[in-house]
Structure 1
Amino acid sequence: MNQQKILINKIAQDKLDFDLGLQLLLEEKNNFKELFTTLQNYIFNSIPNKTHYNSEAYQNAIDTIPLKPTYTPIVILKTFPTKIAFNKLASLPENENEKTVTTLLWIFKITDTERRNTECKNGCGHFWHELE
């Protein structure tokens, strides 16, 4: 697991403050497409219902994103089905990258917390849930 993925998982598991972790991710000048793809995959894997990716935790995550609800990424996520919304997020202009990363990182934090508290509560074998 590379540093970016370790950082994302530490943020999701509250082993690193969200705002600090987000700044570290953004400062590293990560390739946006690579970061986006990683976060998308993590989110899709953390949501229990793979049919439509619309769990209660996912909706709660969207409703609690620490950004203005009128920001483009949030409006897209609330307007379109999940897979269509993610396709639209991937094609937003570069000036939306920071808001998009913030949005996706928050969604993963919430959905993965839900997974750790339910499916993984008694142990799961996911090596990323064993980060120190």
Structure 2
Amino acid sequence: MTEQASDGGPALRRETERVVNEIAQGLRTLDTGVSWFSDLVPTRQQTVLQEVAAYTMQAHITAADGRAGVARSGVKPTANPSVMICMDPPRYGFAGLPSDEHVNAFRVLVSVFSVADTRHRETYCKGTCGHAWHNLPAANEQP
């Protein structure tokens, strides 16, 4: 398992931000992101789920984003994480799900974030974006 800073602090947040934004921008596949996530110990997975839920909330997801993200995630629409993100308003208690649902929760959250963030980059930030996380350089796939 991959160990991060003992408190799950800034190093893990930066890594999570990088991985999630690389997936959203097509610089990393969802499957390689899931592999990274799966290598984390369960307590780190919970921390990452909280971070990604916050990114998703900040992206101001719509119901349509939720449905499109679930479809993209490969997770059944009836699975708990899928149902939670498609509620109006969405529920964000993904870290509180049983550990056997964490991978599905990560897949759903990142997929929904990808849909919403792409919409945001193509509308609000098109041609004028100064957000560093919207302008990532192409990177090699990482396991």
Query: TM tier, shorter chain?
Result: 0.7 to 0.9
- Pairwise CA distance, 1:80: 5.2
Distance in 2 (alpha carbons) for counterparts of 1:64 and 1:17:
12
Gaps of 5+ in 1: 48-52
Amino acid paired to 2:107? T
Question: Pick from 28, 32, 46: which aligns with 2:45?
Answer: 32
TM (normalized to structure 1)?
0.79
- Pairwise CA distance, 1:115: 0.8
- Pairwise CA distance, 1:116: 0.9
Distance in 2 (alpha carbons) for counterparts of 1:110 and 1:99:
17
Is residue 119 of structure 1 aligned with residue 124 of structure 2? yes
Question: Pick from 12, 21, 31: which aligns with 1:9?
Answer: 21
Identity %: 25
Distance in 2 (alpha carbons) for counterparts of 1:77 and 1:57:
9
Is residue 86 of structure 1 aligned with residue 76 of structure 2? no
RMSD: 2.1
- Pairwise CA distance, 1:70: 2.1
Amino acid paired to 2:14? N
TM (normalized to structure 2)?
0.74
Question: Pick from 72, 75, 78: which aligns with 2:80?
Answer: 72
Q: Is the CA contact (8 Å cut-off) linking 1:43 and 1:108 kept in structure 2?
A: yes
- Pairwise CA distance, 1:119: 0.8
Gaps of 5+ in 2: 1-12, 138-143
Distance in 1 (alpha carbons) for counterparts of 2:68 and 2:82:
12
Distance 1:102 1:129, change over 3 A: same
SS of the aligned residue for 2:73 comes to coil
Distance 1:18 1:65, change over 3 A: closer
SS of the aligned residue for 1:14 comes to coil
Distance in 2 (alpha carbons) for counterparts of 1:103 and 1:58:
9
Alignment coverage as a number of residue pairs: 124
